[in-house]
Amino acid sequence: MDRDNSFKREQTSHSHQHNDCISKAKTRFLERLRERGKAIGTNDEPVLNLLLSNHGIFSAYDIAEKISESGKRVRPIQIYRSLEKLINLGLVHRLSTMNGYIACFEDGECATGQFFICTECESVKEIDSQLLDREILGSAQENNFSIASKNIEVLGLCGHCQHTSN
């Protein structure tokens, strides 16, 4: 993944009030920590803040680099630890097709794991289709398949990039 992509990405998330997304997600972060009786680790908040800056994908390397720029040096291994915690709290999702991470901006519990990923600007839209989710669960049952992970990552071009690519 290109390290400079985050600059390009920031321009694509301006079509809505992103501050609302951020404050909602932050409230949820504090709620989750309280519910589960977890303390905030030193890197957890900087990692989350960076992920919340837009709807784009960040690699652990991106995150380590960006956080190190703003002060103390952090290593990717420390970033992975924070990411794992944030994933367990349901605040961050890992996208295996893009080998990266995104903040979750959905309301409530986010269990469907369905994503539209723009391969041009690397912005991600989470969708939450209960219908799709039920189909997968039903089909797994029919096939006697035990699901460990059911992320659906759909790759393509977002509305913005469909008009700008040639």
Interactions with Zn ion, residue window 108-137 (CB under 5 A): 110, 118, 120-121, 126
**C-beta separation of 110 from 91 below 8 A:** no
User: Which residue intervals of the chain are DSSP H helices?
Assistant: 5-12, 18-36, 44-52, 60-69, 76-88, 130-142, 159-164
Given 1, 5, 10, 18, the residue binding Zn ion (CB under 5 A) = 18
Contact 55, 102 (CB under 8 A): yes
Q: How many residues make contact with Zn ion (CB under 5 A)?
A: 11
Tell which positions 90-109 bind Zn ion, by CB under 5 A: 104, 106
Instruction: Tell me which of 1, 21, 33, 87 binds Zn ion, using CB under 5 A.
Output: 21
**Residue 64 binding Zn ion, by CB under 5 A:** no
Q: Which SS3 state, helix, strand or coil, does residue 114 take?
A: strand
Which residues contact Zn ion (rule: CB under 5 A)? 18, 21, 104, 106, 110, 118, 120-121, 126, 158, 161
